[in-house]
Amino acid sequence: MLSSINYLDKENWVIDKNSIPYPFAKIDNFLTSEVYQLVKENFPKLDRFNKIKDTSKSNVAVVISFSDFDKDQDTFWYEFGKYFVRKEFFYDFCNLYIDDIERIYPHIYKKLKNQDYKIGIYNKDSFEKCDVLLDFGVGINTTVKEKSSVRKAHLDNTRSLYTALCYLKDDDDSTNSGHFMVYGQKPNRKIIMGERRSFKLCDLIEYKSIDYNSNRVATFINTDKSIHGVTPREITDKERKFFTFTAIFNEDLYTIEKFPRNKFLMKIKTMYKKIL
């Protein structure tokens, strides 16, 4: 059904790559047209996602991870996803950002060049034996009953090196929303991270939008500046469809200062009681 050699349409990739405010890229024509058609034809039915989360709720993210695919029950997605959790793919994809990685994470760059990492699969292997665990997932954002964002400005897991989303927009989906947004920090402003590694939009600049479009990848290297989110989705009966792949390390790649929300609230409550 699938030939892994011809998954990616590298000869026809149209890449828009940037290093500011952090390394990110848009890649059009990511999959060959034949593979992209197979991906669309074999996209999981809504019932499959409903086993993980209630898909009747408005604009929620539901992802089936590679470890959840059964090679007999989910033959297509097991074979397809396996391509993105191979060590060969990991090293090849890192080459897209190799200059940025050398600049930001020189210790990672050295091991990448020597291919010294022990690679495994997330939720199948462990960090006891592996340095990096690769994951793949196919997902949706459910239909939208009220305009909202599925995930506002935030940082990813501090152990993730790269994250990528390949959009699988339906041909009859005429919406113009739910785009990947790259954020930068406003000059001379100290920003504070809230719950779930989130940030207030008033502290940020909308640097660039990577629109939700067919066979398009939005990807970035994860740093302490890699703030991103999804623009609000308009009301629609169409799901936002995608697959995703990432590389998770056995240690934090950077540290972030967390906003001591609970202590702050306790202090406010104490002051309020004194006033009363």
pLDDT category at 198 given cuts 50, 70, 90 is confident
Read off the pLDDT of each residue in 240-258 and give the average, rounded to a whole number. Answer: 91
Beta strands of 86-238 (E only): which ranges?
A: 119-121, 132-141, 160-167, 180-185, 204-210, 216-221, 228-230
pLDDT category at 5 given cuts 50, 70, 90 is low
pLDDT at 273 over 70: no
Give the pair of three-digit tokens for residue 115.
């291919």
Question: Strand 132-141 and strand 119-121: pairing?
Answer: parallel
Q: What is the pLDDT of residues 207-235, one digit of tens each?
A: 999 999 999 999 999 999 999 999 999 99
pLDDT at 268 over 70: no
Region of 79 please: left (phi>0), alpha (psi -120 to 50) or beta.
Answer: alpha
Most confident of 22-36, 67-81, 139-153, 174-188: 22-36
Percent of the chain whose predicted confidence (pLDDT) is above 70: 91
pLDDT category at 18 given cuts 50, 70, 90 is very high
Amino acid 161 reads L
> Which residue shows structure tokens 């059964």?
70
Domain 4-275: CATH class, spelled out: mainly beta
Distance (Å) of CA 227 to CA 19, 90, 197, 236, 273:
13, 23, 9, 27, 37
Q: What is the pLDDT of residues 97-121, one digit of tens each?
A: 999 999 999 999 999 999 999 999 9
Query: Cα 93 vs. chain centroid, distance in angstroms?
Result: 14
Read off the pLDDT of each residue in 243-269 and give the average, rounded to a whole number. Answer: 72
CA atoms within 13 A on the CB side of 189: 14
Quick one: which of 38, 248, 43, 229 has its CA closest to 158? 248
CA angle, 95 as apex, 152 and 8 as ends, to 5°?
80
Q: How many CB atoms lie within 10 A of CB 111?
A: 13
pLDDT category at 71 given cuts 50, 70, 90 is confident
pLDDT at 269 over 50: no
Give the pair of three-digit tokens for residue 134.
């690769």
Q: What is the pLDDT of residues 118-177, one digit of tens each?
A: 999 999 999 999 999 999 999 999 999 999 998 889 999 999 999 999 999 999 999 999
Question: Residue 274 in 3-state DSSP?
Answer: helix
Give the pair of three-digit tokens for residue 179.
């785009």
Query: Cα 183 vs. chain centroid, distance in angstroms?
Result: 15
> Which residue shows structure tokens 């940025």?
100
Distance (Å) of CA 35 to CA 2, 45, 114:
8, 18, 32
DSSP letter string over 11-28? GG-EEEEE-SSS-EEEEE
Give pTM, 2 decimals.
0.89
Contact (CB, 8 A) for 235 and 146: yes
Read off the pLDDT of each residue in 191-200 and give the average, rounded to a whole number. Answer: 78
Task: Please state, rounded to an integer, the average pLDDT across all residues of the chain.
Answer: 90
Give the pair of three-digit tokens for residue 41.
């034809």
